[in-house]
Structure 1
Amino acid sequence: MSVLHTLVWFLVAIGILVVVHEFGHYLAARLAGVKVLRFSVGFGKPLLSWRVGPDQTEWTLSPLPLGGYVKMLDEREGEVPAAEAHRSFNRATVWRRIGIVAAGPLANFLLAIVFYWALFMHGLPAMKPLIGEPPLNTPAAAAGLAAGDEIRRVNGIDTPTFQDVRLNLLRAGVAGEPLQIELVDGRSVQLAPPAMRDENLEQDTLRPLGIVRYDPVIEPVIGSLAADGAALRAGFKPGDRLLAVDGKAVADWQGWVKLIRAHPAKPLRIEFERQGQPAVITITPDAVSEAGQQVGKIGAGPQIDEAVFAGLMTEVSYGPLEALWQGTAKTWEMSVFTLEMMGRMVLGQVSWKNLSGPLTIADYAGQSAALGWISFVGFLALVSVSLGVLNLLPVPLLDGGHLMYYVAEVLTGRPVSERTMEIGGRIGMTLLLLLMSFALFNDLQRLLGG
């Protein structure tokens, strides 16, 4: 996937989310009778600008895409003509100011609901909640779970897809809750929550439990070759059936993947069959850094029997009203989980290594777009929820910080002093810079670590 592809889809994603967020502020301000001077997508000196409407609001596109803003008429920021003073933001009632500020995050939540509603209406293709053979000496193996078991519920919550299983196990694992797993065949088992090394929450929740996704046996036949891969350089062709390495037979594609990964930069003598004729090639897997470790890769993909995988797929879809309810429930569920994760980071119960920044978001934007519109819309919904939650945090400079000031004004009957807001602004700027530094550091670690 090219850098240009990633950049374009990142800008598309950020553009959609920022426009919706700021349009929430803009629309609420207009409804409250407050004059809007500028609607900016991005920060910095405008690249493009035009004026629209009776108030000649300036709409601008600026070069720094990580956000945007709506500038309203405000007597604290400059001289205001007497005839328009009543339309100043600072003269609006405290409840109207609360509505204007809250409208941005609310717009992000509404966008997520609309996206999830559309996805549930269309139908979401996903893997069935089938599990593979649990590794020995894991809680899943001790509980008698076996390959092909289908999970119906986790802690009373329905899990129509394997992704739902993963999410609910992750939530329960982070909270340290016991895990009650109900199967389609009527069995019910309870697993103890694993002790997590929280640098990688998903792996450290599922792996110690022994819950793995069911994968059918894949024949060891090469279906595709990467243009710059070791397999193509060595002379392999699509259709070649892999048989053995250094005289030891390997039965399936999964076995070959494990073997290749375990031998980075080490020559392997591979016996294979091409059009019914035996042959031998010596290949040296490329050494690739992945999660801080060197693994071997040869740039080959398997020949897939589509009929086998079709039986492992399901589609989650609902009628219009049920889809709206499910979309709202999904947005609420992800909002609560995001807030819970943020709280556990602050308390030191979850590692800050799980925090992602703009580089990771850009990477996910590109990857999800490459998988199709369903994946990309799902990505947008998730990030929109995160953006809404983040902006409601009681941190000065964020929407939540302004709401904190206005709530204090409601309780005390007088506005927060300019000095207090000035100090709060400095504290908020420091916190946001620290947050961005952590996020960028994590992004760079992920990129450098493969």
Structure 2
Amino acid sequence: MTLFTTILAFLCSLGPLIIFHELGHYTVARLCGVKVLRFSLGFGKVIWSRRFGADQTEWVISILPLGGYVRMLDDRDPGTRALSEADQAREYTRKSVWQRIAIVAAGPVANFLLAIAVFGGLYMVGMDEIGTRVRGMEASTPAYQAGLRGGDRIVAVNGAPVATYAELRWETLKAVLDKGGVRFDVAQQGGARYSATLPPAALAGKNVEGDLLGELGISTFLSPVTIGKIPDPAGPAGRAGMQPGDRVLSIDGQAVPDGAALMKLVGQSCGRTLQFVIERGGRSLSLTVTPELNKATNISRINAQIISSPEMVKVTLGPLDAIAAGAATTWQQSVMSLKMIGKMVTGQVSLANLTGVVTIADYAGKTARLGPIEFLSFIAVVSVSLGVMNLLPIPVLDGGLLLYYSLEVLTGRPLPGRIVELAQYAGMALLVMLMGLALFNDVNRLTQPAPTPPANTYIRCPND
């Protein structure tokens, strides 16, 4: 069932994005007076086709649903050459260079417009997101040394307001990529305000590919610990007499403010008996719990569900503000994608970050199981990525064609056919290599062992 959900979610996410992209090309081509012969979802063998409209455009579904194309009258292709005088006026290469630029650019632009519409719609409906209140941090972390304190709420990063943890991470990531410092504007619970500044030196060498905020010592505020389900009555929690709904107050005399603190204390026990103080029905009780150690994973546990949720905020905007926020989010993600690509090209970021259809399918399935809001957010993100990818100046992509036409605008004449042909071969080879690398990264990511969880986040026994 999980595999079926993943495949269905992948098709339901990528399919509409491809259709929307190709509809951009199709619509502008028709507006420019170009005759469209075929609109295809997918490549390869045609498995369904119908003809519609005055031009009897063929609408088809092909066997490989990993892209699509719009075939127009084009004298460069013997199979689509304009034969009649009427058709010659509607042939693609006879249109002005600006019309050809508009037709090619319409595909990526359609993806950006779709992302703006989806993001904007989500902001209008309202999205529950993790807030910017931070939990307590170690004194050795850069954030603590800069003056940030647990329980306070970050309200701006370098002057840019932030209301959600995602915005906080985004603005911090931008500052790190720009090799600048970070100034956090912070609000305390009583209303007082202060600033905590991290200089560029404190950010140097931080991993932009992983948990950047975690490396700085920043993590989201969590609610006090409540015990959820106890799956095995014979497990440590069950034997000790724990019950669902118990609130954990302390362990061995140390206060337990949230789930992360509980996991750290249990992880450090390595099977040693612990004294839990819990609250049940308004009374405090003391329970003796001996965590069990899984020798295969070196992780200890009490075998109970730990409920400790992040603080959530609901972001709801009016129509105009929502569309503006959607446009801003789309722009930010596009810029960040280009920066990441640039850093991969220059070697500043590992090529292991390049992902392909397998990872897209995996995340499509995961977000679909989380709910419609998460799934639609994922679709918008992929739409932005699809638009950015197609604008890269690689022959055979839209960006490659835009590069040709830009040179035509500058020189006043089209590039020689032989140069275009050689560029197409080189572009195809590069694209195949990138797809192969992305597939390798996808498979490697899914098959490699899970990374060792950090002791301050998961229940883990340190090695002797």
Scaled by the length of structure 1, what TM-score is found?
0.86
Deviation of residue 279 (structure 1)?
Answer: 8.2
Instruction: Check whether the contact 1:285–1:296 (CA below 8 A) recurs between aligned residues.
Output: yes
Which residue of 280, 290, 305 maps to 1:301? 305
Q: Which residue of 2 aligns with 1:80?
A: 82
Q: Which residue of 1 aligns with 2:409?
A: 410
Deviation of residue 235 (structure 1)?
Answer: 12
Instruction: Check whether the contact 1:287–1:297 (CA below 8 A) recurs between aligned residues.
Output: no
Q: Which residue of 1 aligns with 2:102?
A: 99
Query: Are 2:197 and 1:190 aligned?
Result: yes
Which residue of 187, 194, 201 maps to 2:209? 201
Q: Which residue of 1 aligns with 2:178?
A: 175
- How many angstroms apart in 1 are the aligned matches of 2:13 and 2:231? 31
Deviation of residue 208 (structure 1)?
Answer: 2.9
Deviation of residue 350 (structure 1)?
Answer: 1.8
- How many angstroms apart in 1 are the aligned matches of 2:124 and 2:213? 30
Deviation of residue 195 (structure 1)?
Answer: 2.7
- How many angstroms apart in 1 are the aligned matches of 2:417 and 2:124? 49
Identity of aligned residues (%): 42
Q: Which residue of 2 aligns with 1:442?
A: 441
Deviation of residue 401 (structure 1)?
Answer: 0.1
Q: Which residue of 1 aligns with 2:364?
A: 365
Q: Which amino acid in 1 is paired with 2:210?
A: E
Which residue of 112, 130, 133 maps to 1:130? 133
Q: Which residue of 1 aligns with 2:459?
A: none
- Say what the alpha-carbon RMSD is for the aligned residues: 3.3
Q: Which residue of 2 aligns with 1:429?
A: 428
Q: Which residue of 2 aligns with 1:32?
A: 32
Instruction: Check whether the contact 1:270–1:283 (CA below 8 A) recurs between aligned residues.
Output: no
- How many angstroms apart in 2 are the aligned matches of 1:340 and 1:99? 25
Instruction: Check whether the contact 1:218–1:254 (CA below 8 A) recurs between aligned residues.
Output: no
Q: How does 1:38-437 map to 2 (within 5 A)?
A: 38-78=38-78, 79-83=81-85, 84-184=87-187, 185-193=192-200, 194-196=203-205, 198=207, 201-203=209-211, 205-219=212-226, 221-223=227-229, 225=231, 239=244, 252=256, 253-258=259-264, 283-285=292-294, 287=296, 300-303=304-307, 312-437=311-436
Q: Which amino acid in 1 is paired with 2:107?
A: G
Flag the 1:286–1:34 CA change in 2: closer, same or farther, 3 A: farther
Flag the 1:321–1:280 CA change in 2: closer, same or farther, 3 A: closer
Q: Which amino acid in 2 is paired with 1:223?
A: K
- How many angstroms apart in 1 are the aligned matches of 2:368 and 2:46? 28
Flag the 1:298–1:388 CA change in 2: closer, same or farther, 3 A: farther
Deviation of residue 196 (structure 1)?
Answer: 2.7
Q: Which amino acid in 2 is paired with 1:70?
A: V
Flag the 1:188–1:383 CA change in 2: closer, same or farther, 3 A: same
Instruction: Check whether the contact 1:270–1:280 (CA below 8 A) recurs between aligned residues.
Output: yes
Over residues 218-272 of structure 1, what are the superposed CA-to-partner deviations in whole Å (9 max), with x where a residue is unaligned?
Answer: 13x232649xxx999999997296999xx96886543453467679xx8787888
- How many angstroms apart in 1 are the aligned matches of 2:325 and 2:32? 32
- How many angstroms apart in 2 are the aligned matches of 1:143 and 1:392? 40
Q: Which runs of 5+ in 2 are unaligned?
A: 451-464
Over residues 257-300 of structure 1, what are the superposed CA-to-partner deviations in whole Å (9 max), with x where a residue is unaligned?
Answer: 3467679xx87878889x99978787453846xxxxx7567875
Q: Which amino acid in 2 is paired with 1:301?
A: Q
Deviation of residue 115 (structure 1)?
Answer: 0.7
Q: Which residue of 2 aligns with 1:291?
A: none
Equivalent position SS for 1:121? helix
Query: Are 2:40 and 1:2 aligned?
Result: no
Over residues 194-224 of structure 1, what are the superposed CA-to-partner deviations in whole Å (9 max), with x where a residue is unaligned?
Answer: 23354x6231x223321111112213x2326
Flag the 1:271–1:146 CA change in 2: closer, same or farther, 3 A: closer
Q: Which amino acid in 1 is paired with 2:167?
A: D
- How many angstroms apart in 2 are the aligned matches of 1:234 and 1:60? 63
- How many angstroms apart in 1 are the aligned matches of 2:362 and 2:63? 20
Instruction: Check whether the contact 2:241–2:287 (CA below 8 A) recurs between aligned residues.
Output: no
Q: Which amino acid in 2 is paired with 1:202?
A: G
Q: Which amino acid in 2 is paired with 1:302?
A: I
Over residues 358-410 of structure 1, what are the superposed CA-to-partner deviations in whole Å (9 max), with x where a residue is unaligned?
Answer: 22211211121112111111111111111111111111011000011111111
- How many angstroms apart in 2 are the aligned matches of 1:323 and 1:243? 41
Equivalent position SS for 1:153? strand
Equivalent position SS for 1:47? strand
Scaled by the length of structure 2, what TM-score is found?
0.83
Deviation of residue 2 (structure 1)?
Answer: 1.1
Deviation of residue 355 (structure 1)?
Answer: 2.1
Equivalent position SS for 1:62? strand
Instruction: Check whether the contact 2:271–2:300 (CA below 8 A) recurs between aligned residues.
Output: no
